[in-house]
Structure 1
Amino acid sequence: MPEFSTMLSLQAQMMLLLAIGIFLTKKHIITEQGRACLTDLLLFLILPANTIQSFRIEFNAEIFRSTRDILILSIVLQVFYGVICAVCYGRYAFARKAVMQYGTVCSNAGFLGSPLTEGLFGGVGLLLTSVYLIPQRIVMWSMGVSYFMQDDAAASPGGRTRHRAVLRKTLTHPCILAVFVGMALMLTQCQLPAFLGKALQCTSNCNMTMSMLLIGAIIGSCDLHPLLDRDVILYCVIRLFLMPLVVLVGCRAAHVGELATGVAVVLAGMPMGGTTTILAEKYGADSAFASKCTALSTVLSLITTPLWCLVV
C-alpha cells in the first residue's frame, strides 16, 4: 500500500541520518563541543523556525467548522496525556521522568503522521492532522518544556521565587516564543514578505536532518547497553499500545466520526519525537535513555502503526 511505503521511506531516511550521526561521532568528527553547538543551533534557531512554519496554514471560520471535532479531540487528548504523565511516571527520578513525560505529550506525529494520514485519508486527512497538531505543538513547548525545568525548581531555594524563575525561564524559551508568533500568524493569516517566508521555510526544512544527526551523535557517545531497558519497554507499551487503544475506545464511546477517529488513533500511536533527546541533552536529563526510547519506539512503530491503520 502506498501509505505504508511512504512511512517506511521516512523511517529509513531517519535511520540513515541516525547512522550517519553515530558514524561521525565514532570518527570524532562530531565532538562533545560539536554536540553542544548542534543542540543550541537546533533549540535557538531551527526548531523555532520549524514551529513558526508549522502554524503557517490556512485557517478560517469554514475550516474551523470542518475541523472542530478533531481540534476538540486533540485538546482533550493533551489533557489525558498530562494525566498519564502525572500518574505513570511519578516514581521516577528527574533524569528519566522528564524524558518519559515529554515523550508522552510530544510524539513524532509531525514527521511521520502527516504523510501517513495523507496517504490513508487523502487531502482531508492532512488538513485534520494539521489542526490536530496545533494543541500538541502548544503543549510540547509550554508544559512539555517545563518537565525539563523540574530539576531547577527542586534545586532552587525559596518557594514562590523559584517557581517564578522557572516559569519565566520556560515562557522565554525560544520555542515557546515561536509558538506565540506562529499562533499570531495563523489567527491573523498575516503573510510574511517572500524573502522572509522562504528563509523561514529553508531553515525549517533542516529540522529532520539536523535532529537525527544530533540524536545519532548522542547515541554514538553513549553506552546504550542494554537497549531493552525495562523502562524503555514500559514507555513503548504506553506510547504505542495503551494511548492509541484508549483513544480508539474513547472515540467509539463518544461516537466521534470515523475520519476524525482514524486520524486521532494513528497519530496517538506515533513513536517518541527526536526533540525529546535534544532537550534531554540540553537540560541534563538522561539523553542516553531518551535515545533508547526514540530508537526502539521508532522501530516498533513499523509494526504497530500498520496494525492501528487496519483497526481503524
Structure 2
Amino acid sequence: MELALISARQVVVFFMLIMTGYFAIKAKVLTPEARHHFSSLLVSIVVPCMLVNSYIAEFDAEVFHGIVLAFIHSFILIMIGLVIAVLAARRMGKDNRAIFEFAMIFSNAGYMGFPLIQALFGNEGLLYASSYNTVFNILIWTYGYARVSGQTDAKKVVNTIVRSPAMIAVVVGLVLYLFQIPVPELIHQPISQIGGLNTPISMMITGMILAGSELSKVIRDRAVLAIIGIRLILIPAVCLLIYGFLHISFGMASEVVLLLEACPCAAISTVFAVQFHYDEEKVAGAVILSTVLSILTLPVMAYIITTLL
C-alpha cells in the first residue's frame, strides 16, 4: 500500500504541473507558440544544470563497487529496452517512428522512480539510482538525440552531440564528482535551483500541447497504446526473464536499476516531439497515460523484485 501511495502522490503532482500549462494556454496567459521557447529553455539551460547538480556529491569508496555495478546493469537493461523498441517501432508509422521508439526506450526514472527507490532502499539506493541516471542521460543525448533529430551524417551527429549543452554538462559533472572538486555554495545554489525546474517545465509543455489536442482521440490510438504496453510491461518483463535465465544476482544495485527501467515514458519525449516537429498529441498522450497506469505497474514490479525474487 505504501508503494501505491508514493506512486499516486507523484502522479498527482505530475498532473497539477500539466494542468498549469494547460490552463495557461486556455486562459491566454501564454500563446501556443510559447511551448517552443519553453522547450529551448529546458534543453539548453535547465537540463544541463540538473545534470551538473546530480554529480555534486561526496565520493564514498565503500559503495563505489555497487555504483560501478549499477552502471553496468543500467547499460545492459537500457540496451535491452532499445532492442525491443527498435523492433516494435518497425510496425509503426514512418513519420513518427523515431519519437515513438524514443518514448519506448527511455523511462521517466528520475521523477517517478527515485521516490520509490528512496522508500525501499534509502540513501544507498539513491546512489545506485544516480548510476542509472548517468547512463540514461548519456544514451539520451547520444543515440536518442541523434535518432529524433534525424541526423544521418556521422560527423554532423558527433559534432552536434559533443557540442550539446547536456553532454558538456555530463563531462563537467563527472569531472567534479571523480576528482571531488569543491563547488562554492554561491555557485551550487543557482545551479541546483535552475536544475529543479526540469520536471515543472517538462510537464507544463505537455499541458500546453494538450490544451490544443483531442485527448479522447489520442487515448484510442493503437500506436499510443502499443508504446505504453511496451514501456510499462514488455520491457520490464523481458529484463526480468533475461536476468532469471542468466542467473544474475538480484542485489540492491540490480534491483534499483530494474525498478527504474519499469518507469513510464520520459517526459522529455514531449519536448523532443515539439522541437523536431513530430506528432505532439500522441507523444503527450503516451507520457500521461503511461504515468497514470504506472500507479498500478510500479508497485507490482517493486513487489516482484523485492519480495518474490
Task: State whether residues 99 and 278 of structure 2, in contact with CA within 8 Å, keep that contact through their aligned partners in structure 1.
Answer: yes
TM-score by length of 2: 0.91
Offset, 1:179 = 1.7
1:73 matches 2:73? yes
1:256 matches 2:249? yes
Offset, 1:28 = 2.0
1:212 aligned to 203, 213, 227, which one?
203
Task: State whether residues 104 and 272 of structure 1, in contact with CA within 8 Å, keep that contact through their aligned partners in structure 2.
Answer: yes
1:203 matches 2:207? no
Offset, 1:190 = 1.5
Task: State whether residues 6 and 115 of structure 1, in contact with CA within 8 Å, keep that contact through their aligned partners in structure 2.
Answer: yes
1:149 matches 2:149? yes
Q: Which residue of structure 1 lines up, in the alignment, with residue 239 of structure 2? A: 247
Offset, 1:32 = 2.5
Q: Which residue of structure 2 lines up, in the alignment, with residue 267 of structure 1? A: 260
Equivalenced residues, count:
303
Task: State whether residues 218 and 224 of structure 2, in contact with CA within 8 Å, keep that contact through their aligned partners in structure 1.
Answer: no
Offset, 1:26 = 1.6
2:274 aligned to 281, 298, 305, which one?
281
Offset, 1:301 = 0.5
Whole-Å Cα distance in 1 between the matches of residues 219 and 298 of structure 2? 21
| Equivalence map 1:18-167=2 (5 Å) | 18-150=18-150, 152-153=151-152, 162-167=153-158
Whole-Å Cα distance in 2 between the matches of residues 296 and 199 of structure 1? 33
Task: State whether residues 7 and 294 of structure 2, in contact with CA within 8 Å, keep that contact through their aligned partners in structure 1.
Answer: no
Whole-Å Cα distance in 1 between the matches of residues 163 and 53 of structure 2? 19
Aligned in 2, Cα 1:299/1:188: closer, same or farther, shift over 3 Å?
Answer: same
1:189 aligned to 144, 157, 180, which one?
180
Q: What is the aligned-residue RMSD (CA, Å)? A: 1.9
Offset, 1:259 = 2.6
Offset, 1:202 = 0.7
Offset, 1:181 = 1.7
Whole-Å Cα distance in 2 between the matches of residues 83 and 24 of structure 1? 39
Q: Which runs of 5+ in 2 are unaligned?
A: none
1:237 matches 2:229? yes
CA deviation map 1:259-312 (0-9, x unaligned): 334323321110011111001101112221110110110011011111112212
Letter in structure 1 aligned against 2:62: E
Range with bigger deviation, 270-279 or 91-100: 91-100
Whole-Å Cα distance in 2 between the matches of residues 124 and 213 of structure 1? 32
Range with bigger deviation, 49-58 or 214-223: 49-58
Whole-Å Cα distance in 1 between the matches of residues 135 and 173 of structure 2? 12
Whole-Å Cα distance in 2 between the matches of residues 216 and 4 of structure 1? 24
Aligned in 2, Cα 1:300/1:53: closer, same or farther, shift over 3 Å?
Answer: same
Aligned residue for 2:211, secondary structure, equals helix
Q: Which runs of 5+ in 1 are unaligned?
A: 154-161
Whole-Å Cα distance in 2 between the matches of residues 164 and 66 of structure 1? 36
Aligned in 2, Cα 1:139/1:58: closer, same or farther, shift over 3 Å?
Answer: farther
Offset, 1:48 = 1.2
Task: State whether residues 236 and 261 of structure 2, in contact with CA within 8 Å, keep that contact through their aligned partners in structure 1.
Answer: yes
Offset, 1:66 = 2.8
Aligned in 2, Cα 1:218/1:82: closer, same or farther, shift over 3 Å?
Answer: same
Whole-Å Cα distance in 2 between the matches of residues 246 and 70 of structure 1? 18
Task: State whether residues 211 and 274 of structure 1, in contact with CA within 8 Å, keep that contact through their aligned partners in structure 2.
Answer: yes
Aligned in 2, Cα 1:206/1:242: closer, same or farther, shift over 3 Å?
Answer: same
Letter in structure 1 aligned against 2:296: I
Task: State whether residues 22 and 208 of structure 2, in contact with CA within 8 Å, keep that contact through their aligned partners in structure 1.
Answer: yes
2:164 aligned to 152, 164, 173, which one?
173
Whole-Å Cα distance in 1 between the matches of residues 177 and 298 of structure 2? 30
Offset, 1:127 = 2.1
TM-score by length of 1: 0.90
Aligned residue for 1:142, secondary structure, equals helix
Offset, 1:57 = 3.1
Range with bigger deviation, 258-267 or 10-19: 258-267
Offset, 1:105 = 3.0
Offset, 1:258 = 3.9
Offset, 1:118 = 1.1
CA deviation map 1:34-82 (0-9, x unaligned): 2221111111111111122122233454332133332211111122223
Task: State whether residues 272 and 297 of structure 1, in contact with CA within 8 Å, keep that contact through their aligned partners in structure 2.
Answer: yes
